[in-house]
Amino acid sequence: MTNKKIPDIIIGRLPLYLRALERMTTEGAIVTSSKELGEWVGISAAQIRKDISQFGEFGKQGTGYNIDFLSKKLREIMNIDRVWDVAIIGAGDIGHGLARYQGFLDRGFRVALAFDIDPEKIGTKIGDVVVEDISKMVVSINDADVKIAMIAVPADNAQDVAEKLVKAGVKAILNYATIIINVPEDVRVQYIDPATHLQWMTYYL
Amino acid sequence: MTNKKIPDIIIGRLPLYLRALERMTTEGAIVTSSKELGEWVGISAAQIRKDISQFGEFGKQGTGYNIDFLSKKLREIMNIDRVWDVAIIGAGDIGHGLARYQGFLDRGFRVALAFDIDPEKIGTKIGDVVVEDISKMVVSINDADVKIAMIAVPADNAQDVAEKLVKAGVKAILNYATIIINVPEDVRVQYIDPATHLQWMTYYL
């Protein structure tokens, strides 16, 4: 893999390609084509070929892509050929759902830490982890060298939590709070906001 | 608004613009510029101007955009200058979180129906709605003329649920199950999958 700058929009499509490839694997497929992969993810075959060729030559004209090989390469590119420890901040409904979410482990992530401010929740177990006092968050995350966190606290607390996460060394935040958070440029933020996702569809209704 | 086809990628940015504008409003701002809006959403000022100009002339060179006016126009364009009833399928952690989610009503959506297969959940209340038996889903959704649904059932059941939703007349599905669902072309699907969102960031770590 070269070190040239790959556009964000291409990087953004890689998880979708990988998810489609994983699904093909569970259906017993061995090889696929840019046309078939494109149909799975709703992107043209030409765009798929162009995207994947950014990273090297992973398929052959006429024979297509070996699914296992391409999946492995995509995981390497996305840095998920390892398991990342993740912290959950907020042990309410969303935090619980995330802690019990079955889709993390085989896709590169493990919930390692959870925090809440509520004394009734501290010490209880969500998923496989025990909820810690949020006042210990910066130290615990720093000690465990966790770089990824999911914010599932009310909107009013999200900015404060985000700043503490940055202090703890977190570099990637998945934010479920319905608020835009401000973090330094070297920290990535992704938003999961059901209302925004619904708004993406109402235009077409 | 003309009827020319607007690219999906532009439509996809409108909810982000609206969210930033709403946030500016809560901070007391009256006008904004393409530069400021661009900084909120991480897009160039030129791109903002280009996107918004697809729909008409909503700002003036030198004076910028009136936030209220632009918000109203964006809501009209996205068809959220009304409230859409939404159904939740699955009353587990995620369904509960969605039912209690505070960000829907002032952004165009109201949870009107909820369904589950578990007899212990049927008849209980999540948020403001009573969970109905999933066997009544097609009839209930059809009767209530609900066009939008959120799938929060296990992956194994998601395709079956999706097909029933299509039968009930649903045209937009927000899917929390970790599986790609197949629906007719006139039905839109959005995926909320925390693992995919995390994978969008690991490349940069």
Give residue A16's pLDDT band: very low, low, confident or very high (50, 70, 90): confident
Cα torsion through B88, A190, A150, A148, rounded to 10: 150
B108/A77 CB distance under 8 A = no
Amino acid at B203: Y
Q: Where in chain A is the domain with CATH 3.40.50.720?
A: 84-196
Q: Determine which of A187, A202, A204 to mutate to test the interface with B (most B C-beta atoms within 10 Å).
A: A202
Can you read off the two tokens belonging to residue B102?
């505070």
The nearest CA of chain B is from the CA of A156 a distance in Å of 12
A134-177 confidence digits (pLDDT tens)? 999 999 999 999 999 999 998 889 999 999 999 999 999 999 98
A1 band by pLDDT with thresholds 50, 70 and 90 = very low
pLDDT at residue B101, as a whole number: 85
**For range A80-96, the mean pLDDT:** 94
CB contact under 8 A, B79 and A171: no
Strands A84-89, A148-151: parallel, antiparallel or unpaired by DSSP? parallel
The whole-angstrom separation of Cα A64 and Cα A54 is 16
pLDDT of res. A2: 47
Inform me whether the pLDDT recorded for A17 exceeds 60.
yes
Chain B residues whose beta carbon lies within 8 Å of the beta carbon of residue A148? 198, 201-202, 205
Contact B98, B152 (CB under 8 A): yes
Other CB atoms within 10 A of residue B53 CB: 12
Contact between chains at B107 and A199 (C-beta distance less than 8 A): yes
Which residues in chain B touch residue A150, judged by CB atoms under 8 angstroms apart? 194
pLDDT at A103: 81
Q: Across-strand partners of B133?
A: B116
Q: What is the reported pLDDT for B3?
A: 54
CB A107 to CB B78 under 8 A? no
H/E element, B106: none
pLDDT above 70 (res A3):
no
Mean pLDDT (whole number) for A172-183: 88
Which tops the pLDDT comparison, A30 or B40? Answer: A30
B59-79: per-residue pLDDT in tens?
777 778 999 999 999 999 999
Q: Which of A58-62, A102-106, A182-186, B32-36 has the lowest mean pLDDT?
A: A58-62
Between B197 and B112, name the one with better pLDDT.
B112
Q: Given pLDDT bands bounded at 50, 70 and 90, which one contains residue B5?
A: confident
Every domain of chain B with CATH number 1.10.10.10 lies at 8-77
Distance from CA of B68 to the nearest CA of A (A): 18
Nearest neighbour of A79 by CB, restricted to B77, B93, B203:
B203
Task: Reply yes or no on whether the pLDDT at B151 is more than 50.
Answer: yes
CB pairs under 8 A between A and B: 177
Closest CA to A103 of A204, A173, A178, A23: A23
Q: How far apart are CA A185 and CA B152, in angstroms?
A: 34
Nearest to B97 among A97, A103, A150 (CB): A97
Range A23-27 average pLDDT: 89
Two tokens at B96?
Answer: 């509960």
Examine the pLDDT at A127 and tell me if it is beyond 60: yes
Residue A146 is predicted with a pLDDT of 98
Whether residue B12 and residue A200 make contact (CB cut-off 8 A), yes or no, is yes
The 3-class SS string of chain A reads CCCCCCCHHHHHHHHHHHHHHHHHHHCCCCEECHHHHHHHHCCCHHHHHHHHHCCCCCEECCCEEEHHHHHHHHHHHCCCCCCEEEEEECCCHHHHHHHCCCCCHHHCEEEEEEEECCCCCCCCEECCEEEEEHHHHHHHHHHHCCCEEEECCCHHHHHHHHHHHHHCCCCEEEECCCCCCCCCCCCEEEECCHHHHHHHHHCCC
| B146 chain-A contacts, CB cut-off 8 A | none
Cβ contacts of B147 on chain A, cutoff 8 Å:
205
Would you place residue B80 in the very low, low, confident or very high pLDDT band (cuts 50, 70, 90)? very high
In whole angstroms, give the CA distance from residue A163 to residue B114. Answer: 36
Q: What is the pLDDT, as a whole number, of residue A63? A: 79
Q: Taken in order A136, A137, A139, A141, is the CA torsion positive or negative?
A: positive
Domain A84-196 CATH (choose: 3.40.50.720, 3.50.50.60, 3.30.565.10, 3.40.640.10): 3.40.50.720
Q: Do A84 and B202 touch (CB under 8 A)?
A: yes
| Confidence tier at A35 by pLDDT (50, 70, 90) | very high
Question: Do residues B170 and B144 touch, judged by C-beta distance below 8 A?
Answer: no
Distance from CA of B12 to the nearest CA of A (A): 6
Higher-scoring residue by pLDDT: A188, A179: A188
Q: Report whether pLDDT(A62) > 80.
A: no
- B79 and A203: CB-CB below 8 Å? yes
Residue A35: half-sphere exposure toward Cβ, Cα within 13 Å: 4
Provide the pLDDT confidence category of residue B193 given band limits of 50, 70 and 90: confident
Contact A194 B178 (CB under 8 A): no
Percentage of chain A beyond pLDDT 70 is 98
B30: helix, strand or coil: coil
For residue B86, the SS3 value is strand
Q: Phi and psi (nearest 5°) for B127?
A: 55, -125
B41, two tokens: 């959403």
Between A144 and A200, the higher pLDDT residue: A144
Is residue A10 scored above 70 in pLDDT?
A: yes
DSSP code of B123? T
Per CB-CB distance under 8 Å, the chain A contacts of B80 are 199, 202
Average pLDDT, chain B: 91
Q: What share of chain B is helix, strand, coil (3-state, %, to 5)?
A: 45, 20, 35
Mean pLDDT in residue range A71-85: 95
- The CATH class of the B8-77 domain is mainly alpha
* Residue pair B168/B144 in contact by the 8 Å Cβ criterion: no
- Residues of chain A in contact with residue B11, where contact means CB-CB under 8 angstroms, are 200, 203-204
Is the pLDDT assigned to residue B162 strictly greater than 50?
Answer: yes
Q: To which H or E segment does residue B4 belong?
A: none
Mean of pLDDT over chain A: 91
Q: What ipTM does this complex have? A: 0.88
Rounded Cα gap, residues B14 and B28, in angstroms: 21
Q: Which residues of A touch B97 (CB under 8 A)?
A: 92-94, 96-97
Beta carbons within 10 angstroms of residue A47's beta carbon: 14
Contacts of A169 in chain B (CB under 8 A): none
